[in-house]
Amino acid sequence: MAERPSYRRAPSTNIPRQGVYRPHDSKFGIVTGGSRGIGAAVVENLAAKGCNLLLVFTSDSSAEPTQKLCAKVQNENNVIAKSVQADLSDPSRSVPHILATAKNHFSHPKSGGFQIDILINNAGIAGNKCLNDEKEGPIEETQFHKMYNVNVLAPLLLTQAVAPYLPKDRSGRIVNVSSVSSSIGYEGQSIYAGTKAALEAMTRTWSRELAENATVNAVNPGPVWGDMYAQAGEAFWKVNQKYVDAAPLCKYNGDDETKRRAGGDPQEFDKIVRQGMGGMRPAFTDDIAATIENYFLKYYLYHALTWPQLSFVAVVRTAKPTAYPKVVGYVLAKMEEDPSDNIQHGHITSLSVMRTHRRLGIAEKLMRNSQRAMAEVFGADYVSLHVRVSNSAALHLYRDTLGFTVEKTEEKYYADGENAYAMKMDLKDMQIKDIPEVDDQDEGDAVGSAGKKAETNTNGEKMVKVRVGRQRGVADLVEKNEGTRSGY
As annotated, the active-site residues are: 178-179, 192, 196
Give kind and range of the element (H or E) at residue 4: none
DSSP one-letter code for 377:
H
Q: Is 351 helix (H, G, I), strand (E, B) or coil?
A: strand
Would you say 483 and 459 are in contact if contact means Cβ atoms under 8 Å apart?
yes
User: For residues 423 and 409, what is the distance between their CA atoms, to the nearest angstrom?
Assistant: 9
486: left (phi over 0), alpha (psi -120 to 50) or beta: beta
Which runs of E-coded beta strand occur in 196-325? 214-219, 312-316
DSSP one-letter code for 150:
I
Sequence-ordered alpha helix ranges (H) in 379-434:
392-395
Give kind and range of the element (H or E) at residue 89: none
User: For residues 82 and 66, what is the distance between their CA atoms, to the nearest angstrom?
Assistant: 9
Instruction: List own/partner pairs for 179-185 with CB under 8 A and 24 or more apart.
Output: 179/124, 179/220, 179/221, 180/220, 180/222, 180/243, 182/220, 184/243
For every residue of 455-487, which 3-state class applies, written as one string? CCCCCCCCEEEEEECCHHHCCEEEEEECCCCCC
445: burial class by Cβ within 10 Å (0-12, 13-18, 19+)? exposed
- Closest by CA to 351, choosing from 379, 388, 381, is 388
- Which residues, 6 or more positions from 112, have their beta carbon under 8 angstroms from its beta carbon? none
3-state helix, strand, coil in the chain (%, to 5): 35, 20, 45
Rounded to the nearest 5°, which phi and psi values hold at 350? -160, 140
